[in-house]
A and B are shown apart, each in its own frame.
Chain A
Amino acid sequence: MTAQDIAAVDPEARPGGEVLLRATDVTKHYPLRAQGLSRRHRVLRAVDGVSLEVRTGETVGIVGESGCGKSTLGRCLVRLTELTGGRVEFDGRDISALSARRLRPIRPGMQLVFQDPQASLNPRRRAGDIVAEPLLVHRYGDAAAVRRRVAELFDVVGLSTAHLERYPHEFSGGQRQRIGIARALATDPRLVVADEPVSALDVSIQAQVLNLFADLQEELGLTYVFIAHDLGVVRHVSDRIAVMYLGEIVELAGTEELYGSPAHPYTQALLSAVPDIDDGSLTDRAPVRERIVLTGEVPNPVDRPTGCPFRTRCPYARERCALERPPLTRTASGREVACHYPLAE
């Protein structure tokens, strides 16, 4: 690939707007049914003390493996689920304790795009009505105004207005995800939390939807929280990335820094496990990455290890890691790592 073919992303051009969303020490615990008499208060710590800031116009990626709490965190951020502890501020306002009535005028500003468009679209309703629903809920205007807005939204996400009357099953997977995106955009949100929005799509369709996300951000000035397990996808869309493990953020850094030199051993292992396509272009430029194969499995979040959550699988774990839980700490270069012995930068 030659340089002029690429509209390369400028790593310095990171949006620096004001803080739109601030999560402080967010926790979400699910009580489990008692098993026997001895352990009555078993608790699943899905999200365990997460702090995160999202600035206007930027895309923050949240990456991690299944069960790490990234989807639960996403739902906490837009308060689709009640927090167990901590607070979430949206546009300077604490939304974590607001009543449903007070939350209602704030809701249009923050919307969610779901993973599986098949499951998140009502199969018995027409595509046009699905997109119109949030407009009706938030009293957008009269029937004609709603119709005009729905047609406009179809246009924005690249759907034909000839298909307004169709049902979800009459669309392909990629088109269904476009309906989900149109619905999320209906109320003109400032923040869109997208939870695995492309992982159910065919590879060739995935690229089309990712391009749509990029175009919409540019045209509408959207702020994204983009949750995904695919490390290539997250790298492509994000300005900054939070890596989660067992309900915690273990590393938070700019995309280039994170992929260039991961500071947390888990980030390093995660990146090294991705089978990269060897197309002959990398061998002469970058050295072959050392593969670190983790042994064992992610611990059960009900029986969280003492100290560092990753120490049971960490190749560098020492005695201190079992005793003290490392807090997320800002390093000299501005990235945040939760590790007693972060890797050299």
Chain B
Amino acid sequence: MYTVGWQIAEQIRAHERVSRKEARARAVRLLSDVGIPDAASRVDAYPHEFSGGMRQRAVIAMALSCDPALLIADEPTTALDVTVQAQILDLMRELNARGSAVVLITHDMGVISQIADRVLVMYGGRAAEEGPRRSVFHGPRHPYTWGLLDSVPRVGGPRLRRLPTIAGMPVAPGSLPEGCAFAPRCRLRHERCEELPVLSAGTADAAHRDACWLPTDQRTALRLTTRTADSEVAS
């Protein structure tokens, strides 16, 4: 077993020629940067002595140890409570403001909606929709994105008796259909869907692209129709 500080120092010493002492001092500074109270003594603690939120911070400290230009964070807040999640997201924003690019991978639409500049929605290993955050969240175009947004119970807005659902189960990576991967679960499936849709832009915004055969100008109306149907049909 290794202490948290040792694990951060190891990373620094692997990439830079620094003394043990200096690496340790940097580990203390990093832990303090990510908001670990009393970092000078906590640096000698073992991971199991940290809470979940502190462990996640320690891992972020590790990732930041060599000033990365790019940080890829895979579900960094999924195991955390909301109040701690808010602290970690603030940390990511700060890092971003200091010039690092961040790729945040998550299933939580709320987190994405709070933090991302651009969004990529994936299904079955492929891009379903891509674009600037505001554009994707305010005017989602792919039926899968509609389902993701509508099926999450919110803390604000109207309360529904039944939630709209996405029918069926997520596609297994081994059995991807020839055409659109989402077609088997899509209420608006038609003949064209047997052909693989290409990622293409709509009429308004060239940066906002989606992979769906539905006519681009009718998406908003179609979304309302499916939402009503989804919340009425028994799951």
Q: Chain A residues in contact with chain B, CB under 8 A?
A: 1-2, 5-9, 65-66, 158, 172, 174, 202-208, 210-212, 214-215, 229-233, 235-236, 255, 259, 269-271, 273-282, 285-286, 289, 291, 293-294, 296-298
Contacts and interface: CB of A to CB of B under 8 A. Distances in A.
B81 interface: yes
Q: 5 tightest A-B contacts by CB?
A: A236-B153, A275-B110, A280-B138, A207-B151, A65-B81
Contacts of B82: 65, 229, 231, 270, 273-274
A204 B90 CA distance: 27
Interface in B23-57: 37, 51-54
Given A212-B235, A277-B152, A294-B83, A236 B165 contact: no
A278 B111 CA distance: 10
A26 to B, nearest CB: 23
A83 B85 CA distance: 33
B159 A271 contact: no
Contacts of A285: 157
Contact of B113 (A9, A278, A293): A278
B97 interface: no
Nearest to A279: B137
A98 B152 CA distance: 42
Interface stretch (B173-181, B203-211, B226-234): B226-234
Contacts of B111: 275
Contacts of B37: 296
Given A207-B164, A297-B53, A297-B84, A1 B158 contact: yes
Task: Name the residue among B53, B84, B161 with the largest chain A CB count within 10 angstroms.
Answer: B161
Contact of A273 (B85, B165, B227, B231): B85
B55 to A, nearest CB: 12
A206 B151 contact: yes
Nearest to B161: A7
A30 to B, nearest CB: 18
Interface in B202-224: 224
A109 to B, nearest CB: 26
Given A66-B52, A235-B153, A293-B87, A7 B148 contact: no
Contacts of A215: 162, 234
Contacts of B109: 203, 277
Contacts of A210: 153, 163
A269 B87 CA distance: 12
B6 to A, nearest CB: 23
B155 A214 contact: no
Interface residues of B, number: 54
20 contacts: A7-B161, A9-B160, A66-B81, A202-B107, A204-B147, A207-B165, A212-B235, A215-B162, A229-B82, A236-B153, A236-B160, A270-B82, A273-B82, A276-B110, A276-B156, A277-B113, A277-B152, A279-B140, A289-B156, A294-B87
Contact of A203 (B81, B148, B162, B228): B148
B108 A8 contact: no
B224 A5 contact: yes
Contacts of A158: 234-235
A174 to B, nearest CB: 7
A282 B157 contact: yes
A229 B161 contact: no
B169 interface: yes
Nearest to B51: A297
Contacts of A214: 161-162
B101 interface: no
A5 B83 contact: no
Nearest to A4: B228
A200 to B, nearest CB: 12
Nearest to A9: B159
Contacts of A279: 113, 137-138, 140, 149
A245 to B, nearest CB: 11
A232 B158 CA distance: 12
B169 A174 contact: yes
Contacts of B224: 1-2, 5
A243 to B, nearest CB: 12
Nearest to B110: A275
Nearest to A256: B159
B86 interface: yes
A259 B155 contact: yes
B99 interface: no
A1 B82 CA distance: 27
A206 B149 CA distance: 13
